[in-house]
Amino acid sequence: MTEGAVGAPPADLELTTAERDMWEAFRKGATLDLRGPRPELNDPSGQHPWGPERTVRARVVARLLLSGPPPHPGRVAALKLNGVRITGTLDLSGGTVTPYVELHNCRFEQQLLLPESTFSTLRLVGCAIPRVEAARIRTEGDLHLPRCVVQHGIRLTDAHIGTDLLLNQLVVRRDRRGLSIAADGMTVGQDLQAEMMRSHGELSMRGATIGASLSLRGSTLNNPFGRRALNAPQLKVERTLYLTSAGLGYARYTSGATPPFGIATSVPEQNARQRRFECLGGARLDDGRFGDAVDLSEARFVMEADQELSLRRVQTPELRFLGERQQRGRVVLSGARVVNLVDRFDSWPGPGGLAMAGFAYENLIPMGSFPLARRLDWVAAATPEYAPEPYERLAGALRASGEDADARAVLLAKQRRRRETLPPAGRAWGHLQDWTVAYGYRPGRAAVWMAVLWAIGACYFSYRPLPPIKEGEGPVWNPELYTLDLLLPVVDLGQGTAWRPAGAAQWVVAALTLLGWILATTVAAGASRLLRRQ
């Protein structure tokens, strides 16, 4: 290669042997592989030093990417490196990188600066990088960082990824602000896959938009330094958010992932290993919009007492709350709106660990046994102080699925819970209504009590007939009709005013009249409540 030849490197670069090989491989679109024969020496995150035979300078790499030589005839220029050490700071800030870039198992000595740069596709696979600074980066195609180790955080604020963002098996640690990945306002055209990822710090995705699905299957988000491990309010995902387990040991790859970096997440085969999603710290998904579902199957949240899994005002067609019950912290669903609530009774926290004021759902789809008694415990756990709305919402969902008897049982439980908040007189009246006709939700009791009272009254007046008010006037004495006339308010059978009770009979008449009014008003109140909800 001569100084004046087309595509020859400038003399002022003073290229090393490795850099000349890289320059020539770039023009051919070939891969420069500088790995050694011993695998333990090829780990970019390992302690073994890489010598000059495996080293290129960052400024030479930048020269190739920003103003590189033309390709050889019939070839497409591309930077493909494997097992290369890059010294200095690779600064592509604001630049437009046209060539295809794919770096495998490379070791960066300094941070990677990509803010406001533009790429077609950028793939960094299994690399060790001190920090990735890529705010407002734009790619027409993919951005891949699978199996990379990033020591001081990744910044993707307001980034625009044309197709997929792939972070599978990434290990990333926090920056000076405690953030592992800062991706506020990021837009991803298709899938964001961050499966089997290890995040040490806060993963921040405030206001991010994902064009298809967001998968954190099998990932661990750990932030012992701050309040939240996942901070993603106003997140918009067109399809599904997966905070679920990932299966290991498959031959199949996740749809949309690029082998060999995808991780299979289909139904696990027998004896296949599973790695669950774990969040060690709070998680905030407030005001999120999810087009298909939010899936928390087998998820594990480990929180302190003051931390939350916050789903305030989330909207999604389906919420799959099927994770492990957390021991501390709270689950907050206040104002959330879902169509299908898929859950298990042992996934929900106990008293004090759940808040769901204004939580709206249409259909309940329990997985496994979820009897009504446990469902009522679920509502009670969410309402340390009495609130009618959760009971009415549950009753409405049960009634919509045709379970009218269970819906009435829920409304009865609501009245009993309300009774605890009343003054003594109100509680006494409530106990009486409950004991007699169950607040009108069991009207059959009223018929039984009416029959018992009618039999007692008819028997009493059969042996102690009453004298008429006016002799020779009025109807013929009939103890059965007289008792019925006393028990039925409003209805007049012509018996009650024709006879004159005296002595003990006056007390019997007063008691039957009062009990009749109690039964009638309680049944009427219960019927009116039912009619209002119909």
pLDDT in tens, 284-330: 999 999 999 999 999 999 999 999 999 999 999 999 999 999 999 99
Contact of 55 with 32, CB cutoff 8 Å: no
Q: Output the pLDDT for position 1.
A: 40
Q: Which residues of 387-414 are buried (b: 16+ CB within 10 A; e: fewer)?
A: beebbebbbbbbbeeebeebbbbbbbbb
Of 335, 337, 369, 331, which Cα lies nearest the Cα of 351?
331
Contact of 140 with 120, CB cutoff 8 Å: yes
Instruction: Give the percent of the chain with pLDDT over 70.
Output: 85
Q: Output the pLDDT for position 104.
A: 96
DSSP 8-class letter at 499: B
Q: Output the pLDDT for position 57.
A: 96
370 strand-pairing partners: none
Q: Output the pLDDT for position 4.
A: 46
For residue 107, pLDDT beyond 90: yes
Q: Output the pLDDT for position 260.
A: 39
Q: Which residue has the higher pLDDT, 524 or 328?
A: 328
For residue 25, pLDDT beyond 80: yes
Give the residue carrying structure tokens 């960082």: 145
* Domains of the chain from N-terminus onward: 441-532 (1.10.287)
Q: Output the pLDDT for position 457.
A: 75
Report, as an integer, the average pLDDT of 349-355.
Answer: 90
Contact of 278 with 220, CB cutoff 8 Å: yes
The Cα–Cα gap between 144 and 166 comes to 5
Q: Which residue has the higher pLDDT, 517 or 203?
A: 203
For residue 213, pLDDT beyond 60: yes
Backbone angles phi, psi at 235, to 5 degrees: -75, 135
Where helices occur in 185-270 by DSSP H, the ranges are none
For residue 277, pLDDT beyond 70: yes
3-state SS assignment for residue 260: coil
pLDDT in tens, 469-509: 777 666 777 777 777 777 777 676 666 666 767 777 778 77
Q: Output the pLDDT for position 503.
A: 75
Q: Which residue has the higher pLDDT, 265 or 411?
A: 411
User: Which of 36-40, 403-407, 506-510 has maximum average pLDDT?
Assistant: 36-40
Q: Which residue has the higher pLDDT, 195 or 260?
A: 195
Q: Model's pTM, two decimal places?
A: 0.80
For residue 266, pLDDT beyond 70: no
To the nearest whole number, what is the mean pLDDT of the chain? 85
Backbone angles phi, psi at 222, to 5 degrees: -130, 120
Q: Output the pLDDT for position 445.
A: 63
Backbone angles phi, psi at 216, to 5 degrees: -120, 35
Confidence category of residue 265, pLDDT binned at 50, 70, 90: very low
| Structure token pair of residue 456 | 């007692």
Q: Range with the lowest mean pLDDT among 168-177, 372-381, 419-428, 525-534?
A: 525-534
The Cα–Cα gap between 532 and 331 comes to 32
The Cα–Cα gap between 118 and 140 comes to 8
Q: Output the pLDDT for position 435.
A: 62
Instruction: Give the percent of the chain with pLDDT over 90.
Output: 57
The Cα–Cα gap between 457 and 463 comes to 10
For residue 524, pLDDT beyond 80: no
Cα 486 to the center of its chain, rounded Å: 59
Q: Output the pLDDT for position 494.
A: 63
